[in-house]
Structure 1
Amino acid sequence: MERGKQIYKLPEGWILEDLGNIAFINMGQSPPSSSYNYDRIGLPFYQGKSEFGDIYPIVEKYCSEPIKIVDSDDVLISVRAPIGPTNLVKDKSCIGRGLAGIKAFGGMSGKFLLYQLRVKVEELQEKGTGTTFKSISKSILEHSIFKIPPLNEQERIVSKIESLFSELDQAEKGLQKAKMQLKILRLTLLKSAFEGKLTEQWRKENNSESIEKLQNSIYKMRKQQFEDELALWKLEIDNWNKNGKKDKKPIKPKEPYSAPFISNKELKDLADIPNKWKWVKTSQIISIINNGYTPKSEFLGEGQGEIPFIKVYNLTFNGVLDFTINPTFIPKENHQLELKRSICQPGDVLINIVGPPLGKVSIVPETYREWNINQAIVLFRPNEYVLSKYISFYMQNSSTIQWLTDTAIGTAGQRNVKVSTCREIPIPLCPVEEQEKIIGILETKLSLKENLEKTIDSCIQTSNSLRQSILKNAFAGKLVPQDSLDKPASELLKQIKAEKETFLNKQIVSKQNAPKKIKKMSKALGIEEVLKNSTEPMSAKEVWQKSKHKDNIEDFYAELKELGDKVNEVKKGLESLLSLKQ
């Protein structure tokens, strides 16, 4: 490869060679699914990137009837989406069709190949084929060009890479630790805020309105709001009567629900708060606490209507709504009729009531005048005495999230919070001026915390870029000094080819001496033949088990797709029954 050597500008003593000429590539194959187990019977079994660690894979399952086996120090590479991730085999193992094993010869270490493969990820991904899931073939791997330095230089390169990576690992550990401390700081700040500790000095310096007077103001406001709604309803009824009662009768507004006062027993489980504060329930100070409703699917879609429709995935854990994720809209007519009770306004506070995880909180922004929400979200409408950001920060507080988690119903797989429960969430009420002070302190400190997190993330990203830079320099001959006394790689190549030939010959002899498997006389049947032999419809699972594809579900569905209109499929509950069309 002299021409290639000029293109790649190789250092003295290096050579270029196809991977297939310096290593043995062992494409994985799925063993019988009946041989999979978690009881440590057989060999560790790896199927794909999901089991990869930083260098070595994590053993999750075993296989008692391995087909494709890899040895210690072989390289594992993911050949199906995602293409390119690599690991190193620690102990003799079995691999499935999502992986390939690469065995080095001539004293070359698996780590040397592993690190060089990590430089070639994008190159291999570009060569992937397939529509739904891309993959690479054995041929692509075999013809991938590798740079081969002298053996001693390879060892120096691996040693230097690991030394530099170790330094980066230590730095990243420190960054991750700092990031965790910032998360703890956030939790501590929110906890302190709603125990009155952040505004302790402020209270000493300011004489704010008494909590009793504040509660009385809230009561009067809620009463006035209800009277206004009642007066409006009466006008709507008059108009409805005048129009001959043609349209739907206006619904009479309900008097705002107010939960019972917090009992002494409940107070014992709540945090201590300043004397000028008071524990209340959300519905005692917030008039509107409603959940949403999901309209028919045909009314949902990007650009489908005029009103933005918020789903749980649009909520975040920091109070900011993210409507860039799959933005959905509904028609104005649905918004004003069946979804009227869940109309949202800018400033409303939203939380998710279906988890896990619970604890998503967002304030409705001013991007649109009106919004709506689905059934897994509850809205809290703030007022002049209970501020939007105060509610939002409180809902992000770990003790509030824990209270919601403890009162949720359902299984571990899904936890649901009732709307009625949301109306009884305990919340510390403090004067509006103090709410504003708390909000200001939290915004300042949390903004600083977020900026520090961004800096840390940037440093981690820089560290990742440095790793790639180290690898690129390593395989450009720029990482370690060369030694003129090293035997050139051309000499190493002779040894590699000799060892590989010996290995392949042993493979041939081993196969020849392997005990012959006694083949069953029964004919392996395709799906069509299985169905022909049956007098009645069969479950899809039964057809699969009786077909030649019983060890490979993917091939079963591939043949079923090819048969197309020949097969009749009928749903019976959760089961599919198959039969041949007459």
Structure 2
Amino acid sequence: MSELNQRALAALGELAEEPVEQTGPTSAFVYVDISSIDRETKTITEAKDLTLSQAPSRAKQRLRAGDVLVSMTRPNLNAVALVPEQLDGAIGSTGFHVLRSRWLRPDFLLRLVQSQRFVDEMSALVQGALYPAVRPKDIAAFTFTFETPAQQTRIVAKLEELLSDLDAGVAELKAAQKKLAHYRQSLLKAAVEGALTAAWRAKNTPSETGAQLLERILTERRARWEAKQRAKFAEQGKTPPKDWQKKYPEPVQPDTTDLPELPEGWVWASVEQLASESSYGTSVKCSYESNGTPVLRIPNVSSGGLDLRDIKFSTVNLGIDRSDALDVGDVLVIRTNGSIRLVGRAAAVVTNLPQPHFFASYLLRLRCVETTSVHRWILAVLTAPAGRQWLEERAASSAGQHNISLSTLHTMPIPLPPLIEQSFALTEIQDNNEAIGKQEDAISLSLKQSAAQRQNILRAAFAGELVPQDPSDEPASVLLERIRAERAAQAVLKKPRGRKVKSA
């Protein structure tokens, strides 16, 4: 960087604060808010067509093509974008700081506000906990090395050259990610429909069919209920009344109408038939600091397994015994959430937990009778495409929340193969998922490296290291001084004259 350019240090407020009309809409309009921006591509992808009566209170700023929008909320997410020609005249949210300049190219400015230094400096200035945001004056105070328009053009051209190649590589990596996610779903679909084990069935004849397994589970289910009832009578010092076994609540049978034909040896069962118990969790307040029982919450129900890294503890004694605590064979299901994709997401307890754990009220617990593999099989069915469709079609919605009730979940049909076939299918799923996971980890690492390379390129660009200066250009420092002089002169002209005080 030349000595002259080292002194050409400017603030965004000096060069990118042309006035933006704050008149808002007067008729039907196109609205751009923070949710309209794709943070990955830094483009406006979801502008909204609204009538005047639908105008939010934040719909104030009349945008021009070439404006650079910077979200003031959660600047660490870097929701920034350039207003394209087709959105000239759109109305922007006041949640944006609009950068408009005669001296900075819009594409140069857009790249500048994507730099890590900008993101870091803005993130360090956020105010507010629930709605963390920076102020317009914080953005305006950001300093950078000013370049002449000609040098800006050269920098942008070089950035486009380098970043377009990088973007192409990132697009390929993300496409590979999607293919792997699709393969996971295809694997589950093949498993719960029987295609994954078709070759296995052709060579093997299980000693117990799916129907016989279901009958054995139902027998054990009833035996457990009767044992609990006898224990209650004994605790109360009562003799069991006549025909008390007839009060056994029979589990709901699956509705097989329009269900596909199952492979030989399989049978349809309901969730309730396979679970000896099912229940809601506790609504007791929990915190990180308390020393009560560990309580699993929605964040602990990850994709298929339990994540025990972020645990809260009950603030009071829950009074649970070992039989109440989560145990191997339990399946936890998210029953309510703002995202329909999370409702019904489940995790199975497959190993002993280090100490007794309970679960929160936003979760449901299914306690399976047969714990060899049935709990993991139910999890596979819940996660497979057909299971997700069944859950999402039956989830009730209210006030932005989606909910699957326990009674509804009980009726969910489960295709039940023989136990030995379940184990074979689940092993195949696990082995393939481990291989997929390794590929996903490699892709994630490559994406992180690409993001770091992007920032290295941007840092070099705005440090004057990417493109050499053209000695025939006017020095940036000279141009900057002229701009400052022009701004100072305009400020004097705009300064209101004071009134003369009349003498008495």
1:464 partnered with 2:456:
no
Match of residue 335 from structure 1: 320
What does the per-residue CA deviation read over 1:179-211, in whole Å, with 9 as the maximum and x for residues that have no partner?
A: 222222111111110111111222222221132
What does the per-residue CA deviation read over 1:286-342, in whole Å, with 9 as the maximum and x for residues that have no partner?
A: 322x12143454xx44454532223334323x2112343452326445435xxx996
Do 2:325 and 2:358's aligned partners in 1 also have CA atoms closer than 8 Å?
A: yes
1:363 partnered with 2:348:
yes
Q: Which runs of 5+ in 2 are unaligned?
A: 498-504
Do 1:279 and 1:428's aligned partners in 2 also have CA atoms closer than 8 Å?
A: yes
Structure-to-structure mapping, 1:129-528, within 5 angstroms: 130=127, 132=129, 133-136=132-135, 138=137, 144-211=142-209, 212-238=211-237, 257-259=249-251, 261-262=253-254, 266-288=255-277, 290-295=278-283, 297=285, 300-304=286-290, 306-316=292-302, 318-325=303-310, 327-329=312-314, 331-335=316-320, 343-355=325-337, 356-357=340-341, 358-364=343-349, 366-382=352-368, 383-384=370-371, 387-411=374-398, 413-493=400-480, 496-497=483-484, 508=494
Q: Distance in 1 between matches of 2:494 and 2:266?
A: 84
Match of residue 8 from structure 2: 16
Match of residue 114 from structure 1: 110
Amino acid at match of 1:311: R
What does the per-residue CA deviation read over 1:217-256, in whole Å, with 9 as the maximum and x for residues that have no partner?
A: 3344334434433443343233x89xxxxxxxxxx99966
TM, length-normalised to structure 1: 0.69
Match of residue 39 from structure 1: 28
What does the per-residue CA deviation read over 1:45-101, in whole Å, with 9 as the maximum and x for residues that have no partner?
A: 666x44444445464468899987664434333456537754334435666654434
Amino acid at match of 2:162: L
The offset of 1:164, in angstroms, is 1.9
Match of residue 101 from structure 2: 104
Structure 2 residue matching 1:480: 3-state secondary structure? coil
Cα distance change, pair 197–227 in 1 and its aligned pair in 2 (3 A): same
Q: Distance in 1 between matches of 2:135 and 2:146?
A: 23
Match of residue 536 from structure 1: none
Cα distance change, pair 508–176 in 1 and its aligned pair in 2 (3 A): same
Q: Distance in 2 between matches of 1:29 and 1:256?
A: 72
Do 2:329 and 2:367's aligned partners in 1 also have CA atoms closer than 8 Å?
A: yes
Q: Distance in 2 between matches of 1:165 and 1:218?
A: 60
Amino acid at match of 1:416: N
Q: Distance in 1 between matches of 2:360 and 2:119?
A: 41
Q: Distance in 2 between matches of 1:37 and 1:271?
A: 56
Do 1:390 and 1:435's aligned partners in 2 also have CA atoms closer than 8 Å?
A: yes
Q: Distance in 1 between matches of 2:457 and 2:102?
A: 25
Q: Distance in 1 between matches of 2:318 and 2:5?
A: 76
RMSD of Structure 2 on Structure 1 (CA):
3.9
What does the per-residue CA deviation read over 1:146-195, in whole Å, with 9 as the maximum and x for residues that have no partner?
A: 21344333211101112222222222222222222222211111111011
Amino acid at match of 2:28: D
What does the per-residue CA deviation read over 1:26-59, in whole Å, with 9 as the maximum and x for residues that have no partner?
A: 587976xxx557712xxx6666x44444445464
Q: Distance in 2 between matches of 1:69 and 1:418?
A: 46
Structure 2 residue matching 1:319: 3-state secondary structure? coil
Do 1:305 and 1:332's aligned partners in 2 also have CA atoms closer than 8 Å?
A: no
Cα distance change, pair 258–209 in 1 and its aligned pair in 2 (3 A): farther
What does the per-residue CA deviation read over 1:443-490, in whole Å, with 9 as the maximum and x for residues that have no partner?
A: 011122222222222222222211111111112232234433444324
Structure-to-structure mapping, 1:54-133, within 5 angstroms: 54-57=41-44, 59-60=47-48, 71-79=64-72, 81-82=74-75, 86-90=80-84, 91=88, 98-106=95-103, 108-119=104-115, 120-122=117-119, 124-125=121-122, 128=125, 130=127, 132=129, 133=132
Q: Distance in 1 between matches of 2:320 and 2:419?
A: 33
Q: Distance in 1 between matches of 2:12 and 2:304?
A: 54
Q: Distance in 2 between matches of 1:331 and 1:65?
A: 44
Q: Distance in 2 between matches of 1:220 and 1:74?
A: 70
Amino acid at match of 2:227: D
Structure-to-structure mapping, 1:523-538, within 5 angstroms: none
Q: Distance in 2 between matches of 1:501 and 1:71?
A: 26
The offset of 1:440, in angstroms, is 0.4
Do 2:5 and 2:145's aligned partners in 1 also have CA atoms closer than 8 Å?
A: no
The offset of 1:362, in angstroms, is 1.0
Q: Greater relative contact order (Cα 8 A, min sep 6): structure 1 or 2?
A: 2
Q: Percent identity?
A: 23
Q: Which runs of 5+ in 1 are unaligned?
A: 1-8, 242-251, 513-582
Count of aligned pairs: 472
Match of residue 567 from structure 1: none
Cα distance change, pair 312–52 in 1 and its aligned pair in 2 (3 A): closer
TM, length-normalised to structure 2: 0.78
The offset of 1:415, in angstroms, is 3.8
Match of residue 500 from structure 2: none
Do 1:28 and 1:98's aligned partners in 2 also have CA atoms closer than 8 Å?
A: no
Cα distance change, pair 150–460 in 1 and its aligned pair in 2 (3 A): same
Q: Distance in 1 between matches of 2:402 and 2:312?
A: 25
